[in-house]
């Protein structure tokens, strides 16, 4: 099912928001709780970041059609807002051309 507008998502402690290798469907805003970003390296898991209220993750998926480069897991029960890739791309397509060039360059640099 394709989601075309932001939606609320609740995840329980220990639940994956997404796993490394999953398709990038959008970005997430943490409304409450704590999320850890994890990169798998062989049998080891490396914690890249621990995020909390008002922080955003999964943003690289917005302008990349590549799989997720890391996973995100809830450290505590968490409430998120998922903003779908297509929703943001629609807003982006309506933006000024210079803004689009700058933002595309930024995301190309970050990914």
Which residues on adjacent β-strands are paired with residue 99? none
Contacts of 97 (CB under 8 A, 6+ apart): none
Confidence of residue 3 (pLDDT cuts 50, 70, 90): low
* Coil, strand or helix at 21: coil
Q: Does 57 score more than 80 pLDDT?
A: yes
Least confident of 16-20, 36-40, 69-73, 92-96: 92-96
Instruction: Please give the average per-residue pLDDT across 43-49, as a whole number.
Output: 93
Is the pTM here over 0.85, yes or no?
A: no
Confidence of residue 37 (pLDDT cuts 50, 70, 90): very high
């Amino acid at each position: 099912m394709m989601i075309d507008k932001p939606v609320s998502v609740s995840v329980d402690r220990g639940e994956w928001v997404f796993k490394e290798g999953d398709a990038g469907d959008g970005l997430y805003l943490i409304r409450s709780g704590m999320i850890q970003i994890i990169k798998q390296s062989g049998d080891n898991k490396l914690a890249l970041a621990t995020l909390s209220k008002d922080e955003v993750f999964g943003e690289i998926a917005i302008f990349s059609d590549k799989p997720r480069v890391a996973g995100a897991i809830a450290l505590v029960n968490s409430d998120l807002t998922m903003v779908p890739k297509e929703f943001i791309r629609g807003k982006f397509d309506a933006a000024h051309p210079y803004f689009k060039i700058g933002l595309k360059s930024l995301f190309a640099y970050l990914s």
